Structure 1
Amino acid sequence: MPLTAVSFKRKDELMRLQSFCLLFALCAAFGGFAAERPKQIFAHYMGCYPAGTGPTAHHRSELKLDHNSPAFGQATGGTVYNWDLVPHKTRLSPEASAELDIKRAIRGGIDGFSLDAWAGSAGAKATLDALFRAAEKSGSDFKITICLDPSCLPQHPEDSGDTRPHAYADAIKYLLERHGDSPNLARRNGKPLIFGYHSQGIAKAINTPEDRRKIADAYREVERLVGQPLYFHFCIGAFNWGVPSGKGASVEEAGAWAAEHFPAVGDFFDAYYPTDEILKAGRAVKAKGAEWSQPMWFQYYNRGNQSLYVEDGFNKLRRMWKNARDLDSTLLQFVTWNDYGEDTVLAPGYNTNYAVLAYNRYFIDWWKQGKPPAVDRDRIILSFRRFNEDAQIYPFHAREFAPGVIEVVTLLTAPGRVELPGRGIAYDAPAGMSFRQFPVTPGSVAATVARNGKKVVEVVAPEVITDRPFRPDNTMYAFSSDCDRYWEEDFPGVPPLHYSEYGDADGDELPNWFEMYYFGRFGDFTTMTAADPEADPDGDGFTNLEEYRNQTDPLVAEKPYRAGDEWRRQDIFDAKTCANPERDFNGRAVWRYYYKHGKQGEIRNDGHYERTNSNLPNVPYTGGVLAHLSPSSAPGFRHLHGWIAFTPEGDTLFKPRREAAQILGWRSPVAGTVSVSGEILPDNGGQDGITLKIGTRTQSLFDKVIPPKTGLKFDLRQVRVQKGDEIFFFCDCSPGFDSDRLVIRNLVIKLDNLE
């Protein structure tokens, strides 16, 4: 019945109806009604990485690795490990690539892509167009939009001063002018949906009250330039970067402010904040009536800048989804669909196969349905790290390490008995979803589920866990019992690509990586059987198989150690590799960097230390050019984050903190006797002095408190070592302040005699 036909008995009834209509209009404008807020999840799409085509296909086919390269990316094993999963040596057309990515995303429960504007420049725009064509051709309801990336948007000549509205508006205009009428354009509350990444980047502004107004005004100007209302998703990531102490708002306050100006607020990547801080921000956003977009990711490893954020198994993914459910998030942006260079890949990849996408689908369904989804068939998902902390990496250099686990996820229609063949592990798993985690130990990884003594599902991972890794890798390998099924759906009749670096395709005990890297072409699977295990190409008396077992170069003759050899710290400085461990003149890993946390004055010098996991070529605040840093925080401690660095003069600088000793280690590659010498320089800025202890796990060689402004030389003779013994240089703060440092010049270990 039309409202004009309603007969009102009392004036207050009309007023109540008018108030309700006004409230409805306001809620519709700001997205306040649940009916206007369907739960949607988009995957952040890198336009520079479409599957099987463009730069992705080029770099995968032209892959070259060199452990002797002066470039850090090369020397540590390359920057991309988890390539896009397509048949070997396959190159897709842009249209076929877009169709494959959308098909896989829909299978994984993803509602749309938010393409990074413009990672890949003109190529990213072409990828966006191809995605729209593929979505329209499929007739699906798959949605597409862009995510405004301040680091990738080009400068605009009309943007001057402190804001960039024209650059942002131009990106949106490209989207709307080409695809504004497309049924696959992402809209929310009838408006084009535009995602943000570090959204404060539209202005030269930080999180202060004055600058926040500048940011809000800039987005209003973008909307004016575009000429129509927009549904902005505002990302509060990096909002507090560069804010002077005491002047910036908390993350919670930033979220509350953003919720007053934008209909959806979230964070792209929350690793920089404690978990409770990002939850506070979410609650503040919800309290203001805006949509909260929970950060959504499972791992991150940018090898180029050594940013590493990983957790055991799928712990991070499960926690992100719990946060999304607890805060009733209604709009999500998964990070990412296809950033292969940063290992945040939800799309199928060499190392993660279809496993992450399938497991994530379970949580999407749970989030949308409000309860765990029913399991329609028995499934197993495996994830693991390829090696543990005790494994020595060769021939590539290592700069960081994160521990991991073997995780077994089961999705079962009924309870079953789980076994891990060859590992002596068996347990009972309930119906539905459950998981168990186990230590990383070498060998194959497989799992079975049985009921009443009959096997109902099994999975064998193509990859194995090794005790001889060739390059550092701190991200997961994952495989599931459904992987081959999904491959057949994508590539009917094509044998599945079971990528394995540490497997042995020809059963000759030489792993695939060894044969490809030294004797074929790394990444070319046709060369995985290129080496003869009994051959000795460098003529040093060791076969290829022995070289692999000894972790030596099969193409370069092993150099013998001789009395008189010297391990000089200056040589490490001159090489400027900044690895952990560092190699000597024979390519053996000898210098190592450690730390140990504890109460000041009570940190034990016992030879049991943690390896530094941040080793960087240029850290200005350390006063050095190469630095090995201990963590900046740990539960129960306040005064951490020390370092061992090289000064510009090539000296070794130790900077312990009150609760973090810094330790340099030298691991002997031979058995014999050595001399240890060096000169401690006076520290003119010190107040309390540094405790320096030199010794092995079983013998003390030097133990002194070095007062400020004091220098001395040490020359320790006839130190007996066995191969593998380690001499430690243990530096700790004396009681008092932790402003002191210790600098050693001309630190040399000399081989006096060989046994």
Structure 2
Amino acid sequence: MHRLPKFHSFVALFLLCWLVQEPILHAQDSLKNLPEYSLPLTSEKLVIAHCMTNIISFKGHPLEDSGNSRYYAPTGNISAPLGGLTQVKVMVDSMMSSRSLDEAVEFEMRAAIRSGIDGFQFYYILGAKDWDNIIKAYFRVAEQQKLKFKFTFCISHPNGKTEDLKIEEYAARMNGILDEVGRDNKHWLRTPDGRLVIYQWDGEGLADIPADRNGLPVPYYIARAYQRLADKTHERFACIFTINKEITNRDLNDFLDYFPATWIWTLPYNDKNYVGERISQICSTRKRTFTASVFNDFYTSKLLKKGTWDMYHQVSDAVQAGIGQVERKYITTGLSYNFRKLLEFGIAKNAAIINVITWNDYPEGHHLAPEINHNEGFSILLNYYKSKWKNEPSPYADRDVAIAFFKKYKHDVVPAPFNIPVKAFQKEVIPAVWEDSIELVTLLRAPADINVNGSKKHAAAGLSISKFPMKTGVVSVNVTRNNQRTVKFVTPEGITAFPYRSDRITYTFSSEFERFYKDLYPGFTPSFSTEYNTRKQ
């Protein structure tokens, strides 16, 4: 007779626990497929570049060793045993080394705007509080100089510590910036409904992933961590998660359950199975924003421990390790091919944002900022394609333009004596042999004859791509129409059959060189690469 009341008590207790737990379980999935994930990220098409916040030169703040011009020459500096540590030479480094921070960021923005860039997403890591002053300077100068430019954070590999500690540090620093420059500052990159657009680069590490996930996917916990960070910064976020490797449809859909947009890092273009095609299609089906990405090159100046991504941050450490213990990383990009095709893909998908990888990561060699190897060639292409993307007139419609792209030596030539191994770290989707030529990209008002080193071809009006054999020495370019020369230039740099060091960075030069750099910034004079234009072949 006593069992029935006990049974009723048990049922009542069970129902009470179920009623209490049901909203808790529901709350755990309250971040899934929110309506705001389908809202637009921008009200206009924008080119946003990944900016390495700390890779900037100003008084008292030199460029890091792997981008420092003092280690470019093969002799006369402590990196001589390596044939020179860096293989990039930043044009502005010598001028800005004695200038103020505000002058330095002004130059960066003016150069970026001339290259077709509308804003920066700042590489933002833990433990670098002094970088916040650089970001504040960008806001301050953009306001003072009335520069139309956007900014936001890119939360990057937040590893170590607990989720709570990481969120605490990020929130304190981000609040400091937001409060000082103003949350309503027009330079913030915000969605039309007011959310702060936040990029991630390998940003999953912000979250603690429990061993027992209670049936929920990993992206839920990542999204929850970013929601906590948003709450701590008194903001609403629109997070763009990064794809840095092949991703399955299932994993992609799991991320799209909890994030409104994605961007792809340095995955090169392949016309047969480019990963972006599948990702963009799924994003379209899920009503999420696919943002297009483009990178022009990938060849690291930074020296890495063999078989790793562990970088020798100090030139002295790299020299001590010696050539036998170091290597550089590389992706074959086919001269201008990868850059052009990724831009064409973004245009075909009518992407809301095109991400440039990167503005100033000189050590990884995918920079667009002024440097004596890349020069202005990729920037001209970006400006041209941007006009197509936005249905605007080409900025080069009134003249003929020619851009030469080449490597300093063929891919199978062995440098001597400084043969530092160059290791491809992704599967080859662009054949290395494609880079064993001189590529001339022309933007012509009308069809014309082109001549490269005495070899002649005919080029169509508009954008045209022509290949010519590699020939040692400098590259001579002429464009003629009706027996009238419209373009003539000779590249300062040459091609060699006997490179003294490994160097796979892409070299570009164009008929626009003087026009592009003219009046860019008071006191600025462009410099040149001339390693192989006078060396004995």
Same fold per superposition (TM over 0.5): yes
CA pair 80-209 structure 1, distance change in 2 beyond 3 A? farther
CA distance in 1, matches of 2:268, 2:457: 34
1:362 aligns with 2:394: no
Question: Which residue type is aligned with residue 450 of structure 1?
Answer: T
Taking structure 2 as the reference length, what is the TM-score of the superposition? 0.77
Which structure has greater strand proportion? 1
Matches for 1:305-320 after TM superposition, within 5 Å: 305=304, 306-320=328-342
CA pair 111-408 structure 1, distance change in 2 beyond 3 A? same
CA distance in 1, matches of 2:88, 2:127: 19
CA pair 292-494 structure 1, distance change in 2 beyond 3 A? closer
Secondary structure, in 3 states, of the residue corresponding to 1:350? coil
Matches for 1:605-684 after TM superposition, within 5 Å: none
Corresponding position of 1:619: none
Judge conservation of contact 1:445–1:460 (CA < 8 Å) in 2: yes
Matches for 1:570-585 after TM superposition, within 5 Å: none
CA pair 122-62 structure 1, distance change in 2 beyond 3 A? farther
Q: Deviations over 1:384-433 (max 9, x none)?
A: 1001145442221231385422111111111111111xx33111111111
Corresponding position of 1:452: 482
Secondary structure, in 3 states, of the residue corresponding to 2:417? coil
2:201 to 190, 197, 203: 197
Q: Which runs of 4+ in 1 moved over 6 A?
A: 64-67, 370-374
Corresponding position of 1:178: 180
Q: Deviations over 1:426-466 (max 9, x none)?
A: 11111111111223221211211111111111121100111
RMSD: 3.4
1:56 to 44, 58, 63: 63
CA distance in 1, matches of 2:344, 2:269: 19
Corresponding position of 1:469: 499
User: What are the ranges of 5 or more consecutive residues in structure 1 without an aligned counterpart?
Assistant: 1-25, 241-249, 505-510, 512-547, 550-755
Matches for 1:218-297 after TM superposition, within 5 Å: 218-237=225-244, 250-271=247-268, 275-297=273-295
1:328 to 345, 350, 368: 350
CA distance in 1, matches of 2:383, 2:126: 26
Question: Which residue type is aligned with residue 486 of structure 1?
Answer: F
Q: Number of matched residues?
A: 462
1:299 to 278, 292, 297: 297
CA pair 391-95 structure 1, distance change in 2 beyond 3 A? same
Q: Deviations over 1:286-319 (max 9, x none)?
A: 2111110123212112353432112222110111
2:110 to 94, 103, 113: 103
Secondary structure, in 3 states, of the residue corresponding to 1:485? helix
CA distance in 2, matches of 1:196, 1:400: 28
2:438 to 395, 398, 406: 406
CA pair 485-198 structure 1, distance change in 2 beyond 3 A? same
Q: Deviations over 1:42-66 (max 9, x none)?
A: 1111112125662228863542777
Taking structure 1 as the reference length, what is the TM-score of the superposition? 0.56
Corresponding position of 1:187: 190
CA pair 457-485 structure 1, distance change in 2 beyond 3 A? same
CA pair 98-384 structure 1, distance change in 2 beyond 3 A? same
Corresponding position of 1:113: 120
Q: Deviations over 1:18-60 (max 9, x none)?
A: xxxxxxxx998345369x5421121111112125662228863
2:217 to 202, 210, 215: 210
CA pair 275-209 structure 1, distance change in 2 beyond 3 A? farther
CA pair 452-38 structure 1, distance change in 2 beyond 3 A? same
CA pair 364-154 structure 1, distance change in 2 beyond 3 A? farther
Question: Which residue type is aligned with residue 207 of structure 2?
Answer: A
CA distance in 2, matches of 1:89, 1:101: 13
Q: Deviations over 1:243-285 (max 9, x none)?
A: xxxxxxx433333332232222222232599943332122111
CA distance in 1, matches of 2:87, 2:248: 34
CA pair 214-55 structure 1, distance change in 2 beyond 3 A? same
CA distance in 2, matches of 1:119, 1:76: 32
CA distance in 1, matches of 2:172, 2:485: 58
1:126 to 127, 133, 144: 133
Judge conservation of contact 1:42–1:112 (CA < 8 Å) in 2: yes
Judge conservation of contact 2:126–2:169 (CA < 8 Å) in 1: no
Structure 1 residue 216: Cα displacement: 2.1
CA pair 369-251 structure 1, distance change in 2 beyond 3 A? farther
Judge conservation of contact 1:39–1:331 (CA < 8 Å) in 2: yes
Question: Which residue type is aligned with residue 293 of structure 2?
Answer: P
CA distance in 2, matches of 1:446, 1:64: 26
CA pair 461-148 structure 1, distance change in 2 beyond 3 A? same
CA distance in 1, matches of 2:176, 2:38: 25
CA pair 212-185 structure 1, distance change in 2 beyond 3 A? closer
Secondary structure, in 3 states, of the residue corresponding to 1:302? coil
CA distance in 1, matches of 2:385, 2:397: 12
Corresponding position of 1:379: 401
Q: Deviations over 1:495-548 (max 9, x none)?
A: 5422211233xxxxxx3xxxxxxxxxxxxxxxxxxxxxxxxxxxxxxxxxxxx7
2:90 to 84, 90, 96: 84
Judge conservation of contact 2:46–2:353 (CA < 8 Å) in 1: yes
CA distance in 2, matches of 1:427, 1:464: 21
Secondary structure, in 3 states, of the residue corresponding to 2:363? coil
Corresponding position of 1:169: 171
Query: Rg larger in 1 or in 2?
Result: 1
Question: Which residue type is aligned with residue 171 of structure 2?
Answer: A
Identity %: 25
1:425 aligns with 2:455: yes
Structure 1 residue 74: Cα displacement: 7.0
Judge conservation of contact 1:253–1:284 (CA < 8 Å) in 2: no
CA pair 228-461 structure 1, distance change in 2 beyond 3 A? same
Judge conservation of contact 1:118–1:125 (CA < 8 Å) in 2: no
CA pair 37-495 structure 1, distance change in 2 beyond 3 A? closer
Corresponding position of 1:38: 44
Q: Deviations over 1:715-750 (max 9, x none)?
A: xxxxxxxxxxxxxxxxxxxxxxxxxxxxxxxxxxxx
Judge conservation of contact 1:256–1:281 (CA < 8 Å) in 2: no
Question: Which residue type is aligned with residue 262 of structure 1?
Answer: F
CA pair 339-359 structure 1, distance change in 2 beyond 3 A? same
CA pair 332-74 structure 1, distance change in 2 beyond 3 A? farther
Structure 1 residue 493: Cα displacement: 7.3
CA distance in 2, matches of 1:213, 1:272: 30
Structure 1 residue 382: Cα displacement: 0.9
CA pair 27-361 structure 1, distance change in 2 beyond 3 A? farther
Corresponding position of 1:481: 511
CA pair 468-448 structure 1, distance change in 2 beyond 3 A? same
CA distance in 2, matches of 1:90, 1:138: 18
Judge conservation of contact 1:155–1:167 (CA < 8 Å) in 2: no
Judge conservation of contact 1:44–1:336 (CA < 8 Å) in 2: yes
Question: Which residue type is aligned with residue 68 of structure 2?
Answer: R
Corresponding position of 1:149: 156
Q: Compare relative contact order (CA 8 Å, sep 6+) and give the higher one, 1 or 2.
A: 2
Corresponding position of 1:634: none
CA pair 66-82 structure 1, distance change in 2 beyond 3 A? closer
Secondary structure, in 3 states, of the residue corresponding to 2:450? strand
2:365 to 323, 343, 348: 343
CA distance in 1, matches of 2:280, 2:177: 29
Question: Which residue type is aligned with residue 109 of structure 2?
Answer: I
Secondary structure, in 3 states, of the residue corresponding to 2:217? helix
Secondary structure, in 3 states, of the residue corresponding to 1:341? helix
CA pair 290-427 structure 1, distance change in 2 beyond 3 A? same
Judge conservation of contact 2:291–2:355 (CA < 8 Å) in 1: yes
Structure 1 residue 486: Cα displacement: 2.3
Corresponding position of 2:310: none
Question: Which residue type is aligned with residue 361 of structure 2?
Answer: D
